[in-house]
Amino acid sequence: MPVHHHIFTLATRGQATYEITDEVARAVRASGIRDGTATVFVRHTSCSLIIFENADPSAQTDLLAYFERLVPENAPYFVHTLEGADDMPSHLRMVLTRTSEVIPVIDARLALGSWQGVFLFEHRRAPHRREIVVTVMGET
Amino acid sequence: MPVHHHIFTLATRGQATYEITDEVARAVRASGIRDGTATVFVRHTSCSLIIFENADPSAQTDLLAYFERLVPENAPYFVHTLEGADDMPSHLRMVLTRTSEVIPVIDARLALGSWQGVFLFEHRRAPHRREIVVTVMGET
Amino acid sequence: MPVHHHIFTLATRGQATYEITDEVARAVRASGIRDGTATVFVRHTSCSLIIFENADPSAQTDLLAYFERLVPENAPYFVHTLEGADDMPSHLRMVLTRTSEVIPVIDARLALGSWQGVFLFEHRRAPHRREIVVTVMGET
């Protein structure tokens, strides 16, 4: 069975969502695999992956506002504070979302719904270089 | 390596959990695959998937009550409001749960624990038709 | 395509995170698979899996403190209460984290980032025996 890995880096510029659907789709096309799965994996503990509405940017705005309230900075009981006020919230926001997303590949295409996009969800304020692995497996 | 996709639709009737374990198990049997994985994927951004207690319906009741409080409707800071008061909460409840679940297949059966069921978690009030893809991969 | 399952049990001693990265890595080595994926799956509904910071134990402390607040015991609206005050919160904490984690296998190794560890996240206070399945698939 063929396995195809595609590794790429993404430069983030603060807390936001960054769509990576096209890059994942390219990895699927390059793999030559017609049917199987694409696993997207992020190799970090202060950013995460989500599949989310990609049509209306206002949904992304509300997502960020919601997570700011759900996991506040400077909670009085936090003890893991040496790496900055946005570090521990990053780990918690990551735990509440995902490190990997698995998407079926059908007829050599990602089987996403009409409004689904794959996003890196950056939780740190400072710029970071984030490494993402796409593993496509299946039959050609 | 054989790959078997099974695509089905589920008609939902409002905010609730809908068990789909039997349909996923049928896809595994139909695939002829003995060992591998079953990936369940939902092609939408306002419903999600969970693996959850399937023995006692009171756990489902509390799940819904909890998510109503965790992600309230009409948060004053929401700007994505054109599609109804239950739309933005749907996207957030989806982000906090899952778009795919991956389950081992051992001896041609889903390796779920005794109390685990696979559920579609519908976050919209209006009836919807939801499309679910089950991808079974492995060895026969 | 080779598929290798490794099933093991972990004895938990109350609400905490238990690192299982080494056991998952051993399953990958034993499989003889060079490229593919490792799927880690927990067969229970009151504990879960996370990929989390494994360098600084204070991050684990804050994780537990945060989840105690995010999903409190004895919420006045809970009806699923017969199995103890920590039971329903367990199911909700599980829904907010994961039942499976999928990790790429590259050159016969887990492609985890420097600070990523795989953890069982136990949500019950009493000791439990937890069954975990690691399924490694790919090409040798």
pLDDT per position as a tens digit, C10-57 = 999 999 999 999 999 999 999 999 999 999 999 999 999 999 999 889
CA distance B46 to B126: 11
Take residue B89 and report the two structure tokens written for it. 């909460």
Chain A, chain C: beta-carbon pairs less than 8 Å apart? 86
pLDDT at B43 (0 to 100) = 98
User: A124 vs chain B: nearest CA distance in angstroms?
Assistant: 18
Check CB contact of B45 with chain A, cutoff 8 Å. yes
Take residue A89 and report the two structure tokens written for it. 């919230």
Task: Work out the mean pLDDT of chain C and round it to a whole number.
Answer: 97
Minimum-distance CB partner of B102 among A50, A102, A112: A102
The ipTM (two decimal places) reads 0.97
How many alpha carbons fall within 13 Å on the CB side of residue A80?
Answer: 21
Minimum-distance CB partner of C137 among B36, B98, B115: B36
Chain B partners within 8 Å of C1 (Cβ)? 1, 137-139
Q: Answer whether B102 sits within 8 Å of C5, measured CB to CB.
A: no
Task: Work out the mean pLDDT of chain B and round it to a whole number.
Answer: 97
* pLDDT (tens place) for every residue of chain B, 140 residues total: 699 999 999 999 999 999 999 999 999 999 999 999 999 999 999 999 999 999 889 999 999 999 999 999 999 999 999 999 999 999 999 999 999 999 999 999 999 999 999 999 999 999 999 999 999 999 99
pLDDT, one tens digit per residue, over C64-81 is 999 999 999 999 999 999
Domains of chain C: 3-139 (2.60.120.460)
Neighbours of B (≥3 Cβ pairs closer than 8 A)? A, C
Check CB contact of A112 with chain B, cutoff 8 Å. yes
CA distance C85 to C83: 7
